[in-house]
């Protein structure tokens, strides 16, 4: 995992867009983003570690999603644009990269700056409910990812806007920051 501020320059979303200003794990934790490195090993110890995390966080289900040009065919570009639209979810988003790599961009609070997080196989990220974020592949154009969830997934993406800014899950997220007042 490598995290840094997004440079906001025009260009393909799958390029690094590295501002050369790194972001520490402590900064990520401060905005509620958790990271773990769980190397994939042939003995399957990674599965035991994932199961322990799932149990600890009361996650009972998971699935595996593969994203690639070969797998999505003609829908590849439209799916990439959809994943890259800024949004939030009402559930935590837990992702464990099994193969390939990609970027999660998250909004820093209170600056609203984009932080880009590059993940490879063996990286796990937990995004809190209510955080604005987006996802894109990198130039490798493929990933196979395990998604964990409590019961049935609530992955409805709430696009950023006035209505989402007052979503109860967004307001609860903002309350987690000292000195922040949630809009009524």
pLDDT at 154 over 90: no
Query: Tell me, what DSSP letter sits at residue 153?
Result: -
pLDDT at 155 over 50: yes
Tens-place pLDDT, residues 72-103: 999 999 999 999 999 999 999 999 999 999 99
Binding-site residue numbers for Fe(2+) are 87, 89, 93, 133
Q: Measured between alpha carbons, how far is residue 162 from residues 11, 29, 56, 87 in Å? A: 28, 26, 34, 12
Binding-site residue numbers are 87, 89, 93, 133
**Hey, where are the domains in the chain?**
2-7+21-175
Per CATH, the homologous superfamily of domain 2-7+21-175 is Jelly Rolls (2.60.120.10)
Q: Angle at the Cα of 107 (from 103 to 113), degrees rounded to 5? A: 100
Per the prediction, the chain carries an average pLDDT of 93
Q: Which pLDDT belongs to residue 151?
A: 79
Binding-site residue numbers for Ni(2+) are 87, 89, 93, 133
Tens-place pLDDT, residues 135-145: 999 999 999 99
Q: Angle at the Cα of 1 (from 107 to 33), degrees rounded to 5? A: 35
Q: Measured between alpha carbons, how far is residue 70 from residues 36, 75, 141 in Å? A: 29, 10, 10
Find all residues with CB under 8 Å of 84, minimum gap 6, and list them: 13, 134, 135, 136
């Amino acid at each position: 995992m490598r995290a840094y501020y997004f440079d906001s320059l025009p260009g393909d979303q799958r390029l690094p867009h590295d501002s050369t200003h790194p972001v520490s794990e402590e900064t990520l934790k401060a905005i509620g983003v958790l990271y773990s490195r769980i190397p994939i090993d042939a003995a399957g110890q990674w599965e035991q570690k994932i199961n322990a995390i799932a149990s600890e966080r009361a996650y009972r289900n998971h699935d595996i999603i593969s994203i690639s040009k070969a797998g999505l065919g003609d829908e590849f570009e439209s799916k990439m644009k959809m994943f890259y639209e800024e949004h939030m979810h009402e559930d935590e988003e837990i992702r464990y990269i099994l193969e390939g790599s990609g970027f999660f961009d998250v909004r820093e609070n209170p600056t609203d700056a984009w932080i880009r997080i590059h993940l490879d196989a063996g990286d796990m990220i937990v995004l809190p409910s209510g955080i604005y974020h987006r996802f894109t592949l990198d130039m490798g154009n493929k990933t196979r990812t395990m998604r964990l969830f409590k019961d049935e997934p609530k992955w409805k993406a709430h696009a950023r806007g006035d209505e989402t800014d007052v979503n109860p899950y967004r307001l609860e997220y903002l309350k987690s920051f000292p000195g922040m007042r949630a809009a009524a």
